[in-house]
Amino acid sequence: MAGTEASVTAARGRQKPKKSGGGTAARLARPSLRELEFPGCDPLPLSLAEYRAFDGRLELWDAETRTAWMAREAPTWEHEGPAQTLGEMAALIAAVRGSPIKCYGAMGLVRRHEAGTRRRILHPDQTVYLHPSLVEQEVEDRLLVVGRSFPDVVLEVDHTTDVRPGKLKLYESWGIPELWVEVPDRVPRSRPASLSPGLTIHLLKSGAYRVSPVSRAFRGWRAKDAHAAMNELVPSARTHAIVERLGRALGAREGTGPDDNSLMRSMRDQSRAEGREVGRAEGREAGRAEGLAESRVKMARQILRSRGIEVSAGFPAGAPALHESSDDEVVAAALACDSEEDFQARLRIRVR
């Protein structure tokens, strides 16, 4: 079993924190809000103090315009489900891989200007860090500061919204390496007509997003399979098989496995102990049955010989019947038969 220290060392050799490209204040200001649209959201004037005290669900807050954008419709289980499910699947993958994965849900992401005051805050539906112990995380006012270390995956769920003309461009300008946009299977009447159910994976390449059929962070996880998983009320056997395969593949690259997860190791040890106990019990039962059959063979031979009936060296040929017959049945057959063959025939007739 790989040790924790060895696991971290291996991970450090394969996974480095994702850094920002050293963007300037001008880069952070692009794109202008005048160039963006936020379908399904309404603008709401909010100062920074009002934003901090606000108790609703926001999609975006901009310091320069002191404006927030709030989803027009309240969250529903169809909207919240995919984000929660991704977190659950990430936890299962982490358990199989043998090292933790951290998900922060809708916790806001902030990227400061160089002056440190003017900024924008984006609220995704889920953020995933594949190696949380290796990234340079910074928390400010219950916000995750990006720019020093990026999430490996950011998820947006478009149930009644459309991130493409707005938030997607902001994530792209920030340099978020992988953005998932999930459109749930259940279609509400208020969903923009341009959206169809499915998961779109956007990978950052040369500063721009490109659509990919498969994840780069969770290598081998296809968009269509991740979409199916996020729309299941109960994970299917296929989803569990995919999750296990992903976890083992990630662990193989880092030299870790299920035994590096304390819970998985404990459950495996318990299963092994229970298996050994079952094996011992079955062995004892088999031994008792074998001993009982042997005693009945001796009893039958003694009765037959006392009656002058000769028995062969291989007696009894119908030994399985002795396991299933009672002592009384064996005695009755031995007293009533007139030959070894008749004895065995009587027992087989009785047990049919």
CA distances (Å), 289 to each of 107, 130, 281, 286, 325, in order? Answer: 64, 55, 12, 5, 12
Residue range 261-303, pLDDT digits in tens = 777 666 666 666 666 666 666 666 666 666 777 777 888 888 8
Residue range 230-256, pLDDT digits in tens = 999 999 999 999 999 999 999 998 899
Read off the pTM: 0.70
CB within 8 A of 179, min separation 6: which ones? 153, 154, 155, 156, 168, 171, 172, 201, 202, 209
| pLDDT category of residue 3 using cuts at 50, 70 and 90 | very low
Residue range 56-94, pLDDT digits in tens = 889 999 988 999 999 998 888 888 999 999 999 999 999
| pLDDT category of residue 305 using cuts at 50, 70 and 90 | confident
SS3 state at 293? helix
In angstroms, the CA 323 to CA 11 distance is 59
CB within 8 A of 201, min separation 6: which ones? 178, 179, 180, 211, 212, 213, 214, 215, 223, 226
Q: Which residue has the tokens 């208020």?
A: 190
In angstroms, the CA 97 to CA 254 distance is 9
SS3 state at 201? strand
CB within 8 A of 247, min separation 6: which ones? 92, 93, 94, 95, 96, 97, 258
In angstroms, the CA 176 to CA 229 distance is 23
Q: Which residue has the tokens 């112990």?
A: 133
Whether pLDDT at 320 is above 70: no
Task: Say if CB 19 and CB 145 are below 8 A apart.
Answer: no
Residue 105: which of 124, 82, 85, 132 has the closest Cα? 124
Task: Say if CB 149 and CB 17 are below 8 A apart.
Answer: yes
In angstroms, the CA 175 to CA 250 distance is 24
